[in-house]
């Protein structure tokens, strides 16, 4: 573990001018406070810096607003985008009086989950990897007011990019763009953003991420990025870092990145596919002699995830837009089934030739999720399945998108709306509160923030409503 003295030495050797203390709020946004590097000492780095916790939605009351940001000194990296040499530190929200992780701080919850796992009888380590999808647009325009509500997206790859407008770059004007419904793994010149993704991957590799791969997604303007496995906190850190780099590189190319799950109607949405495996004493525990060469413990983990999936949706699919992707018959898995290799199942068992590679892939999450809370919730659901020795039932080795309506009715499904997911979470949260990993107060605050978001959407007229109802 890095020492404060080592950070001070690095500041001196690298000519660092700014130290940036970054933390994640309840909904998953990265926030920060910056300090002039010359004024920092080892004691401040060890103890942390104060912020006004009442100014962060869902956090402190104004009557007890002081909150410490305690830096994780082993997380330091040099910001490749800042004008002044800047060293960034991931931080946990911490109680000033006790030094304990603040119960509503997402990264602290992820740390508590890892500590809880170390005392678990059947495993002591979780390894998580993520596949992150996102859209790149040439322009995003939003207008919202009492007498207007509209948005406009511009993407050179989309069929609407007309040569007559003269926009979108040479690729748009010469007609090279992915064919509708055939954009997945498109190559240049139809893939307009290959160089953007390559730069993103190059920067992330320089920041220590391994196992990187990237490709064009299924929709016009959609991109996919995957990176290697890490522990729970580090895996969530990687997602936050990847989002930051993607936004910054996109802006440098004059583009806008978004992690909205479904920004374009009738196009494939963006997922955050989570690959998980449990280990004990450095040895994998998911390989065995059962279905798809899985262990009984792995199947119990799968059963726990499926049992609690509707409550998990509150964390893994935490926006109203999430449920435009999780629509039956669309491109995302909505039926709570598992199967080997089957991408229409909510939980997939990827092919793995070695025991060390055996894992489960949870496919319903999306990139609007707060990774610390989503990864923690998935882990705790799986551990509950193991503790209770749950059985997942029979695997579904068929295309679930093609099931007849009466067949689909026999299978449980994910939540159909954010409100439904929040209600499910309120009713099913005991598995999360074990070991004080997610205290009830954190869950209560999260639900309150998210219900406020949903209420804004519910009371705002939508352009489609005018189309449907204006003439009634």
User: In angstroms, rounded to a whole number, what is the distance separating the alpha carbons of residues 408 and 397?
Assistant: 14
- pTM (2 d.p.): 0.95
Q: Is residue 297 within 8 Å of 356, Cβ to Cβ?
A: no
Q: Is residue 216 within 8 Å of 183, Cβ to Cβ?
A: yes
Share of the chain above pLDDT 90, in %: 86
449: left (phi over 0), alpha (psi -120 to 50) or beta: alpha
Per-residue pLDDT reduced to its tens digit, 405-421: 777 888 899 999 999 99
Q: All domains of the chain, ordered by start, with CATH?
A: 15-102 (3.10.20.70), 125-469 (3.30.590.10)
Mean pLDDT of the chain: 93
Q: What pLDDT does 1 receive?
A: 54
Angle at 260 (CA atoms; ends 271, 108), nearest 5 degrees: 75
- Binned at pLDDT 50, 70 and 90, residue 268 comes out as very high
Q: Which of 382, 441, 388 is nearest to 117 (CA)?
A: 382
Q: What pLDDT does 170 receive?
A: 54
User: SS3 for 293?
Assistant: helix
Mean pLDDT of 351-363: 96
Per-residue pLDDT reduced to its tens digit, 152-202: 999 988 877 754 455 555 555 567 888 767 788 888 888 999 999 999 999
pLDDT at 316 > cutoff 60? yes
Per-residue pLDDT reduced to its tens digit, 417-468: 999 999 999 999 999 999 999 999 999 999 999 999 999 999 999 999 999 9
């Amino acid at each position: 573990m890095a020492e404060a003295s080592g950070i001070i030495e690095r500041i001196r050797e690298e000519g660092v001018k700014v130290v940036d203390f970054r933390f994640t709020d309840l909904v998953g946004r990265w926030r920060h406070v910056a300090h002039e590097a010359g004024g920092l000492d080892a004691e401040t780095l060890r103890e942390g810096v104060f912020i006004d916790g009442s100014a962060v939605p869902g956090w402190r009351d104004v009557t007890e607003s002081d909150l410490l940001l305690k830096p994780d000194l082993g997380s330091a990296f040099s910001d490749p985008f800042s004008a002044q040499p800047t060293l960034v530190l991931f931080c946990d929200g911490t109680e000033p009086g006790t030094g304990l992780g603040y119960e509503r701080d997402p990264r602290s919850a992820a740390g508590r989950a890892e500590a809880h796992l170390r005392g678990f009888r059947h495993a002591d380590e979780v390894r998580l990897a993520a596949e992150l999808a996102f859209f790149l647009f040439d322009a995003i325009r939003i207008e919202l007011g009492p007498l207007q509500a509209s948005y406009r997206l511009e993407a050179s790859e989309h069929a609407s990019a007309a040569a007559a407008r003269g926009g979108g770059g040479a690729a748009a004007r010469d007609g090279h763009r992915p064919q509708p419904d055939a954009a997945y793994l498109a190559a240049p010149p139809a893939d307009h953003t290959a160089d953007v993704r390559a730069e993103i991957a190059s920067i992330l590799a320089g920041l220590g991420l391994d196992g990187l791969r990237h490709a064009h997604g299924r929709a016009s303007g959609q991109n996919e990025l995957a990176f290697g496995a890490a522990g729970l906190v580090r895996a969530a850190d990687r997602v936050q870092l990847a989002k930051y780099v993607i936004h910054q590189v996109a802006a440098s190319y004059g583009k806008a990145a978004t992690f909205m799950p479904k920004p374009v109607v009738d196009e494939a949405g963006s997922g955050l596919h989570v690959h998980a495996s449990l280990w004990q004493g450095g040895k994998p525990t998911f390989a065995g002699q059962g279905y798809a060469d899985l262990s009984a413990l792995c199947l119990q983990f799968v059963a726990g995830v499926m049992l609690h999936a509707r409550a998990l949706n509150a964390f893994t699919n935490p926006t109203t837009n999430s449920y435009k992707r999780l629509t039956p018959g669309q491109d995302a898995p909505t039926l709570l089934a598992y199967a080997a290799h089957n991408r229409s199942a909510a939980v997939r068992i990827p092919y793995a030739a070695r025991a060390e590679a055996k894992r489960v892939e949870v496919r319903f999450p999306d990139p609007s999720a707060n990774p610390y809370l989503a990864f923690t919730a998935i882990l705790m659901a799986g551990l509950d399945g193991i503790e209770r020795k749950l059985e997942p039932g029979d695997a579904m080795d068929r295309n679930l998108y093609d099931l007849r309506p009466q067949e689909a009715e026999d299978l449980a499904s994910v939540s159909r709306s954010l409100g439904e997911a929040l209600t499910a979470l309120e009713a099913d949260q005991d598995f999360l509160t074990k070991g004080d990993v997610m205290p009830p107060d954190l869950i209560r605050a999260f639900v309150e923030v998210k219900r406020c978001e949903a209420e804004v959407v519910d009371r705002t007229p939508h352009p489609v409503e005018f189309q449907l109802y204006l003439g009634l």
